[in-house]
Structure 1
Amino acid sequence: MQLKYQISILAILGIFNVHFLTAQQEENNSVGVEGYKKRVLENTEIDFLSSYYSQEGNNAAVSGGTGTEELTDFTPTIVVSIPLNADDVLTIDAGISAYTSASSSNIDPFDGSGQADPFTASSGASSGDTWANINGTYSHSSNDRNTIWTANASLASEYDYFSVGFGGSFTKLFNEKNTELTLHTKIYLDTWKPIYPIELRAFGENGAGLNDALFQRNSITGNPNYSPQFNEFTDKGRNSYALGLNFSQILSERLQGSLAVDVVSQNGLLSTPFQRIYFADVADSFIQDFQLADAIEQLPDTRFKVAVGGRLNYYLNETFVLRGYYRFYNDDWGIQSHTASLEMPIKLGSKFTLYPSYRYYTQTAANYFAGYEMHQSEEQFFTSDYDLSEFNANQFGFGVNYTDIFTKFNIWSLHLKSIDLRYLYYERNSGLNSGLVSLGVNFVIP
């Protein structure tokens, strides 16, 4: 699930940022002649955003690094930006993510009508769920528009966790707005409601072991002396603290560059409770065609991440712009990664822009990763989540944007400002592949 949310949310935010940041750059000019101060945002704007995501693969972490990763997700979002006065803007965005997942359905593979199998989705209650979030941001700009600060807060909820977030940023522009420096921070306080694989619940604090109804109804094949290594998590909180610094500089009439440094510290329950582990030195036990878990994922309760990246945007001519990006990432779990991407907006007249793009990603494996039945039972930490494995990935994208700064087309009292449609295709060398279609429509309320 983590990969899907990263791709889906970033794509949706990318659509929003194309509109909002461009509008902000156009309107965050300093005080005009004769003392007239232009408003940061002239009118209330509404963005209707949505995405449809699908993926498939054969390394599901829920079933210990093997089994179907098939998943589909639909995410509608609405973003409302309201000018409170000439200097202040309140932005509220809210969205839901409704998904069906063959992988998570196998948290309980025995609750469907068919034969339990890691490569087949169960039709039971765990096959789908809804994630919901709401976020509010307050932004204030100084009279000369050279100082901007923001404060934000967010809430998010899904069937197995609840999250509260808050943060802010401070931006300073120098050198006639050719230089920009931003410091931003975010804190997330999450609470898990741990959901464990169905067969392990019988071995929890109040479980009946092999006398549980699951084992009374079904015969264990393979090793009949099933005895998993399992204890329920006592720490159900996860806290994340992020601090970032961004520096942007206009280098010439055609060239703009930026540098970013981000630091994240996490502590608490960083393991995913429903992800199974199968040990190489433990005999296999099955019910039907589904292998019973030997344990669940165990990861350290702290993690420290550092990322350093840079962007270069070069204006070739009225038709073509080149946008390059690179990021290096490192954490104390042993993962190092490199990301490089190139986008070339192609402007067709005054209203249409095409966005072909390519992104390459590569990472090393976490110290605690091993595939299906490759861990040993005496290890302290273990995961078979392929998001933490060594892999390379390619992403190809294409988008089209329509912008009408005069907002001539109206729907009721809404004036259409822009439409953005994009498609991303993602492929890992481990076999996972996915597709994402995202749509953003921006309206102005005069």
Structure 2
Amino acid sequence: MLKHALERLLRNSERNLRSSFSLSSSRIMRRRSLCTKSARAESGRERAECVVIGAGVVGLAVARELALRGKEVLVLDSAPTFGTGTSSRNSEVIHAGIYYPPHSLKAILCVRGREMLYKLCSEHDIPHKQIGKLIVATGASEIPKLNNLMNLGIQNGVNGLRMIESSEAKRMEPELQCVKALLSPVSGIVDTHSLMLSLVGEAESHGTTFSFNTTVIGAHLERNNLCLHVSDTKRLENWNGRFLLHPDLVVIPEFVVNCTGLSAPALAKRFDGLHSGVIPLAYYARGCYFTLSSTRNPPFSHLIYPIPEDGGLGVHVTVDLDGQVKFGPDVEWIKGIDDISSFLNRFEYSVCPDRAKQFYPEIRKYYPNLTDGSLEPGYAGIRPKLSGPQQSPVDFVIQGEDAHGIPGLINLFGIESPGLTSCLAIAEHIAARLSR
């Protein structure tokens, strides 16, 4: 059991002090970087029960679930706070579970996760709204694809799906142009930041410790135990991968969950003893969002989605809880991302205003009254994908000992959409596997 607080990890990094933490009877102080005064090399090793690497929405959900089950949990994240990556750069949509192959993890965990998420939001007053979604066919050639989506959704157990004609869709959304639409009444939106705050609070109240500005730089195996190498994030600011990093602390947990999202494959490659053949190839697709300049009278009250495209669900309409209308994301495949850039989350998130020129024709397929000059740059996110351009989509990979042979380690790869919707179900799934 954890003894003393994880206090500070090289707060004065220029002094190059060794950090450590000791084990205590209950839990460690939260949200502080690990550190101690200078320590002997042999004292820089500590044990922990469960370590979750990554404090995005999935990592937070996993930490909360494990803590609720009585586990002592430590969450390590390289950023200054939680949810700074993909979790804060998405559409904030609660998906129904329509798009995914039957019996896939995406299908099962999305449907289960949606139910769990609505329940959690209601019980904890997390801002959300079940506003419904219209997936639209804007031409006759798209109708068979719409029928396929409806069949997929039914097979996946999505309730309430209904095909509607253009006239009914027009009554629901007067600004909408389509020849047919698939209505998904159980789709919705959620305030992701409030959700993550709630997950952090509940995890902490059940003993979870959070250590930010703390990077897991690698690991090695000792007698089938994965020993994590931990460092102050500041030490990596100017690191280019050309020299060896030495840890400030070695943490030896019973269970480790790699929830680092975009960095997950690159981090797994730094686990000495994990066979490289079990680590999937990583692909990255940036998606930009543009906002409607005037939201005094939002044109839509439902989510509006076109037929999915290669790599994404198409440039769709999202109305957030403040009435802001967003369009996006598009799909821009990013090439040349090396493992160091991926490991350190060195991605480009700026949105070029000129990219709006590509948005207008896509949006006008279903929203013909969109006026020139009404789109403003919003934000961008990057999808942690396991399939590239023109390749078939790949399922979530939740990889345990049966795949890689290391006891107590679970890697999460390719947790893109519907990762937000699925987060609680993913956490439930992982906790059940660790309890076996």
Q: Please report the TM-score for the alignment, with normalisation by the length of structure 2.
A: 0.24
Larger radius of gyration: 1
Structure having the higher strand fraction is 1
Structure having the higher helix fraction is 2
